[in-house]
Structure 1
C-alpha cells in the first residue's frame, strides 16, 4: 500500500476487537467497513459511511494515532468489492529451515506404521548436508507459501542441526525472514550421541539416558551461547523418545537465563509432564496438548500459557485430535498453528488447519479464526498483530468470500485473494 491507503467496500471486517455495535463477540465484526492505513500501521477502522467523520477520527486519535480527515480524503483507494477482510494469520509454530524430504515416511504411516519422534533424525542428516544457500532458497519458498495463504506473522524453530555450528546457522537463517526465532536444540538426541559407546551399550535404557544428559550439557552450554544472539525463544521437546521433564527444565531455565522466552512441545504422544512444566516456568505457549488430564487443563486455565493446537500433525500421523472444545470451555486460551515440518505436518496452510479444527476438534468457525490470528499473537506475546485496530500493524487478508465462515465451509478452496503485511502487498 502507498503511504496512505483506504481499504473500503469491505462487506465483513473481522477486527478481533469487540466494541459496542460490533457483531461476532470476540471477532468484533464491522459490516460495510473501511480501514485506513498509514506508513504500514492501521490508523482508523469503522463503517465505510463514516470515513471522514470528524468525531470518528477524533475517537481514533485518542488511541494515539495522528491523522485527519484529509488523510482519508487524499488516500489511495483499494476497493474490496464487498468481500470479507480478516487480520493476517499468526502462525506461532513452524519448522521451516531444513533439507531433504520424508514423503516415504508419510506413505509408510498411511500404510499403517506408527509415528515416532525418531524420524526427525533423517531430516537432521539432510539438513547438515545442505548449504546455506540451499536452505535459504527453500526457506524463501516457504515464506511465499505462507503469504499466499494469508499468514503475515510466523515463528521459525531450529532443531534439525543438533550440533553447535548447524543449530547456529539455522537460527541465523531463520532470523533473516522473521524476528520470531526459536532455538530448539533440544529437539531429539542426535545419532552420534545415541550410538556413542562411551555411554554404554547403544540402545539400552541406561545408555540412552546418559547420552541424553550429555547432549543436554552441550545444548545448555556452547550451543545456547552460539544460538541465543539470533533467537527470541527457547523450546524443548518434552516427550517420550525426546527429553524428560528434568532434562527439558535444564534447557528451558538455561534459555531463560540467557534472556530467551520459553516455549514447550508437550503432551503430543501421550500423557506427560510437558504441560505442567510449561505452566510452572511461565511459558508463553505449550504446543500439541493432545493428551491432557484434568489437572493439565486446570493448570492451563489458571495460567497465562497458551495451548497451541496443531491439527496438521494429527491429520498426518493419524493420532487423535486435541479436544479444543474441552480447553475452551475450561477457559484456556487456545491458538492454532501449522507446525509446518517435513515429518509430521508438511502443510503451511492455516486455512486448512482452521477447517480441520472446526470439523475434528469441536471449534466453531469464529473460534478457529480467532485462534489462528489473535490466539497466535498471544502465543507469541505480541500486541501489534492478530487484530485490525488503530496502532496495529496493517496485516490484512482479503478473502474471495463474503464471510470468514467460508474458511471452514469451503475447505481446500484457495479463498485468499490479496494479502498485505505491514501495509505492503505480499500476495495477490
Structure 2
C-alpha cells in the first residue's frame, strides 16, 4: 500500500471520536482538538493513518502540498432519491408561482422511471453519484421508490446493490412505500391502498431484502397513514432491514414517536414538530450502537437495528417547497442527534450539493459552522449507523473534502461559490 502525506493544511476538521469525552455533555459542534491549524494528514491505503501539526508529520511515500487550504471529512449524504428518470421542472415552476406542494407529484416521476430503459436508468444514477462526488460527498445513501411495482422495485434494488458491490454507492434503501400508485386507487374494481401495503410488506419486501440494508416509508397525508406505516416498519424489521422514515414534512402525524419506538436509524424532514417530538428524539441518545457480528459485518461496523434515532433535516428541500425550515436549532438544543442531507430528488430538491445545505443551515437555521459541518459528516454517518466515515480519526476511511478556502466558515461567508478543490474517497483522489 502507498502512503500519502497531505501537508499545507490551513485548517483541518477531524471530528475524531477519540477526542470526545463520553462522560461530558454531548458534543454538537467540534470538541477540543478536533480542529487543527497548520496541519498535516497521512493516508495509508484506504484509511487515515495520522493527523496532527505539520511540524510533527511523519514521512510517507508521496507528499501533496495543499497550499493552506481547509480539509474536512467528506460529506455523508444520508438521504437521496437518485433512481429516477425524467424531471419535474414544470411542477417546480408552478410551485414558485404559488401552487402548494403535495405528495402526489411523485406519480409523474414514477411514470417516467417505469418507462426508462434499464441501462439508461443505471447511467443516470451513476451520473448523479459522480455529480455528488464533485461537490465533496464521499458517502452516499440512495433509495428505490419510483417504480412501485414488484418488477420495477426489484430491478431498482438490484441496480443499487450492484453499485454498492462495485464501490460506487455506500448504502441502498427500499422505498416501495413512497406512495400508493394510481393503479391502487380502489376505484372501478381496482385494488386499494390496503392491497398495495400487502404487496410492499410481502412479495416486494421478499424480492429486495437481500439487495438493500434499509427500508423507508413516507408517512404523510397523500402517502401512508400511521397504521400503514407501522405495518410496514414491523415487516421491514422482521426482514432484517434497518428503518428510516419520512416524517412531518407536510404536517404533524405523530410518526416521530413511532419511529423512535421502532429504533429507526433516522427520521427525515421534520418541518412540523412539537416539544414531545423533540423529547422523543433526544431520549434515544442513550441507546448504544451494537457492533455487527463478524459474518454479517457491514462496512460501518454497526448493526441496523440498535442505536439512537437521528433527526435529519433537508434544507434544500425546505427552500424548494417553500416550507417552514426544519427547526435544526431547537433539535440540537433539545438534545437530539442532528444530520443534514440533500434529499436529492426530481420534485422537491434537485440538488446533491451538501455545501449548499450546510450554508443554508448556518445562514437560515441558526447553526454554527461547526454544528453544520458535524451534522453533514458525523451526523449523517450516525444516521446510517456507520463508524468508518464522517470523521478523520485514526483508521477512518480516507474520505476528504478539500476546500479552496483558508477556513471552513467560507462555506457560509461566500455562499454559492464553487469551493471544492479536491476530493479523496477511500484513499483515492476522485476530484
Task: After TM superposition, give the deviation of residue 188 of structure 1 in Å.
Answer: 0.4
Given that 2:15 and 2:30 are in contact with CA atoms closer than 8 Å, whether structure 1 keeps it comes out as no
Task: After TM superposition, give the deviation of residue 360 of structure 1 in Å.
Answer: 1.7
Given that 2:186 and 2:193 are in contact with CA atoms closer than 8 Å, whether structure 1 keeps it comes out as no
The answer on 1:379 being equivalent to 2:383 is yes
Greater Rg by CA: 1
Equivalent in the alignment of 1:197: 188
Measured on the aligned residues, the alpha-carbon RMSD in Å equals: 1.6
Aligned pairs for 1:300-379 within 5 A: 300-303=281-284, 304-379=308-383
Deviations 1:338-390 (A, max 9, x none): 00000011011000001111122121111111100000000000000000011
- Of 143, 156, 161, 2:147 maps to 161
Q: Secondary structure at the match of 1:128?
A: helix
Given that 1:158 and 1:182 are in contact with CA atoms closer than 8 Å, whether structure 2 keeps it comes out as yes
Deviations 1:139-172 (A, max 9, x none): 1110111110000001001110001110111121
The answer on 1:211 being equivalent to 2:192 is yes
Equivalent in the alignment of 1:290: 271
Deviations 1:295-354 (A, max 9, x none): 101100101100000011111111110111111101111000000000011011000001
TM-score w.r.t. the length of structure 2 is 0.89
Given that 1:323 and 1:362 are in contact with CA atoms closer than 8 Å, whether structure 2 keeps it comes out as no
- Structure 2, unmatched stretches of 5+, are 21-28, 164-168, 285-307
Equivalent in the alignment of 1:181: 172
- Of 143, 154, 172, 2:129 maps to 143
Equivalent in the alignment of 1:232: 213
Equivalent in the alignment of 1:266: 247
Give distance in 2, aligned partners of 1:81 and 1:373.
24
Seen in structure 2, the aligned counterparts of structure 1 residues 286 and 146 have a Cα distance that, compared at 3 Å, is same
Equivalent in the alignment of 1:8: 7
- Of 39, 49, 55, 1:33 maps to 39
Equivalent in the alignment of 2:98: 112
Equivalent in the alignment of 2:288: none
Alignment coverage as a number of residue pairs: 395
TM-score w.r.t. the length of structure 1 is 0.90
Give distance in 1, aligned partners of 2:261 and 2:108.
33
The answer on 1:83 being equivalent to 2:69 is yes
Equivalent in the alignment of 1:64: none
Equivalent in the alignment of 2:300: none
- Of 380, 404, 408, 1:404 maps to 408
Task: After TM superposition, give the deviation of residue 175 of structure 1 in Å.
Answer: 2.3
- Structure 1, unmatched stretches of 5+, are 53-72, 200-209
Q: Secondary structure at the match of 1:121?
A: helix
Seen in structure 2, the aligned counterparts of structure 1 residues 363 and 167 have a Cα distance that, compared at 3 Å, is same
Deviates more, 1:357-366 or 1:283-292: 357-366
Seen in structure 2, the aligned counterparts of structure 1 residues 212 and 395 have a Cα distance that, compared at 3 Å, is same
Given that 2:42 and 2:60 are in contact with CA atoms closer than 8 Å, whether structure 1 keeps it comes out as no
Given that 1:18 and 1:25 are in contact with CA atoms closer than 8 Å, whether structure 2 keeps it comes out as no
Given that 1:27 and 1:366 are in contact with CA atoms closer than 8 Å, whether structure 2 keeps it comes out as no
Give distance in 2, aligned partners of 1:376 and 1:314.
18
Deviations 1:224-261 (A, max 9, x none): 01111110000110111100111111111111111100
Deviations 1:165-197 (A, max 9, x none): 101111211223324100000000001111542
Given that 1:34 and 1:45 are in contact with CA atoms closer than 8 Å, whether structure 2 keeps it comes out as yes
Task: After TM superposition, give the deviation of residue 19 of structure 1 in Å.
Answer: 7.0
Equivalent in the alignment of 1:42: 48
Seen in structure 2, the aligned counterparts of structure 1 residues 300 and 194 have a Cα distance that, compared at 3 Å, is same
Give distance in 2, aligned partners of 1:74 and 1:238.
51
Task: After TM superposition, give the deviation of residue 276 of structure 1 in Å.
Answer: 0.9
Give distance in 1, aligned partners of 2:50 and 2:381.
21
Deviations 1:206-235 (A, max 9, x none): xxxx72111000001100011111100001
